[in-house]
Amino acid sequence: MLTFFKKIFIWWNQETLGTKIQTLFFGKLIGKDSFGNKYYESKSGKRWVIYKDEVDASKIPIEWYSWIHFTPNKIQNSHDLEKYDWQKPHQSNQTGTANSYHPNKNNNEIEKKYKNWKN
C-alpha cells in the first residue's frame, strides 16, 4: 500500500503513473545502462528513459546520450562501449555536493587576489 502511494505522490523523483502506463502498453525496452536506467522506444520513434533513482539528465552516460538525442554515430547500435584504462567513469553533475570542485579545497584556505585596506 505504501509503495502505491509513493508511486502516486512522489512523481517528481520517479516515473509518473501516466509514464508507467505508456511504457507498459507502447514502450519497447531497448536496453539498460550501468546505472540501472532503462531506455524505451515506441513504434512511432519516440524515445524516453526511466531513471533508477532521482531524475537527473546528467545521469545518462555518453553511449546512451547519443541514442536518446537521435545523434547518428558509429556507436549507435553498440551500447556496450570498450572503455580504455585512461577513461574516467561517468559521473552525474556534482554541483552543490561535497564532491564538487573548489580551488584550494584541500588547503582549507582561500587566497584572495586583493587585500582589505581597512585593517
pTM of the model: 0.60
Q: What is the pLDDT of residues 78-97, one digit of tens each?
A: 555 677 888 887 777 888 88
60: exposed, middle or buried (Cβ count in 10 Å: 0-12, 13-18, 19+): buried
Domain residues of the chain, as ranges?
25-81
Q: What is the pLDDT of residues 24-71, one digit of tens each?
A: 899 999 999 888 899 999 999 999 998 887 787 888 888 888 888 888
Q: Are residues 59 and 51 in contact, defined by beta-carbon separation less than 8 angstroms?
A: yes
